[in-house]
Amino acid sequence: GAVVSQHPSRVICKSGTSVKIECRSLDFQATTMFWYRQFPKKSLMLMATSNEGSKATYEQGVEKDKFLINHASLTLSTLTVTSAHPEDSSFYICSARSPGAAGNTIYFGEGSWLTVV
């Protein structure tokens, strides 16, 4: 079945540095991917919609200059957390929509734990 892969699964970075998280659709093409963040025991919060070949659409309150999204190909979207701070530490999850016989299905990646120290 369709699989969405995220890398890295865990990353620790120093405050002030940037970190990139990759989201790949392994066996289907995804013109649209979505990025979420989740704090412990909290809901997933939609951050942005990543569109292949065009600019991402950010949800209200999400800083586009802080969270850079690039969707360079039909199978890869990247999220770069720039000038990371400890409050950016969170679980970041991507998803992709796969068209299929039963209609569109959303597949989520396994998530990436970011710890900023």
Partner 1 sequence: SQKIEQNSEALNIQEGKTATLTCNYTNYSPAYLQWYRQDPGRGPVFLLLIRENEKEKRKERLKVTFDTTLKQSLFHITASQPADSATYLCALAGSTLGRLYFGRGTQLTVWP
Q: Does 32 bind partner 1 (CB under 8 A)?
A: yes
Strand order in the sheet with 76-81: 4-7, 19-25, 76-81, 67-73
Contact indicator for 74, 52 with CB cutoff of 8 Å: yes
* Cβ 98 to partner 1 shortest distance, Å: 10
* Cβ 72 to partner 1 shortest distance, Å: 19
x-or-dash pattern for partner 1, window 54-93, by CB under 8 A? ------x------------------------------x-x
* 14: CB partners within 8 A, 6+ apart: 116, 117
Q: Does 42 bind partner 1 (CB under 8 A)?
A: yes
Q: Which residues bind partner 1 (CB under 8 A)?
A: 4, 6, 32, 34, 36, 41-46, 49, 60, 91, 93, 95-97, 103-111, 113
